[in-house]
């Protein structure tokens, strides 16, 4: 019986992790659809809990990158420039290639990132 308990717990943990990852991908897809429909406040509502703080609530670096890009672009279009800069800055700080920009010294870089990555 004890031999079965450990593998069952591992399977249960994997199922929970897989379920959370699917839910996060689904929320990101909803945010993409809201962005395409010009519902930028809805994008913010969906993505802020995922990546709005200093430490993202999600672990997948690709989901973090995409969520920060969409959230930053939504902030740009909502006129929340400082919040957009924070998102794109976090994105760029993680990796210079994450948002597709090489230089982050110019103020216009975050806007270029928004335009090129969300096309």
Q: What digits encode the pLDDT tens for the residues 25-73?
A: 999 999 999 999 999 999 999 999 998 877 788 888 888 889 999 999 9
Q: For residue 37, how many other CB atoms are within 10 A of its CB?
A: 10
Give the C-alpha separation, 113 to 119, whole Å.
Answer: 10
Q: Which long-range contacts (CB under 8 A, 24 or more apart) does 59-68 make?
A: 60/21, 60/24, 61/94, 63/24, 63/25, 63/28, 64/94, 65/91, 65/94, 65/98, 65/99, 66/28, 67/28, 67/31, 68/99
pTM here is 0.67
What sign does the dihedral 102-104-105-108 (CA atoms) show?
positive
- Residue 109 has what pLDDT? 53
8 lies in some domain: no
Residues composing the chain: 119
pLDDT in tens, 70-88: 999 999 999 999 988 888 8
57 lies in some domain: yes
78 lies in some domain: yes
**What's the number of domains the chain is made of?**
1
Q: What residue numbers bound the domain in which 43 lies? A: 27-117
95 lies in some domain: yes
48 lies in some domain: yes
């Amino acid at each position: 019986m004890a031999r079965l308990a450990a593998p069952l717990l591992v399977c249960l943990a994997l199922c929970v992790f897989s379920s959370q990852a699917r839910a996060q991908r689904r929320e990101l897809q909803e945010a993409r659809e809201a962005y395409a429909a010009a519902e930028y406040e809805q994008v913010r509502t969906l993505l802020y809990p995922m990546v709005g703080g200093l430490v993202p609530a999600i672990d997948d670096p690709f989901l973090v990158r995409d969520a920060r890009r969409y959230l930053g672009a939504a902030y740009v279009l909502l006129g929340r420039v400082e919040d957009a800069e924070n998102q794109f800055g976090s994105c760029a700080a993680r990796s210079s290639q994450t948002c597709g920009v090489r230089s982050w010294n110019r103020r216009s870089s975050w806007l270029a990132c928004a335009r090129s990555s969300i096309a």
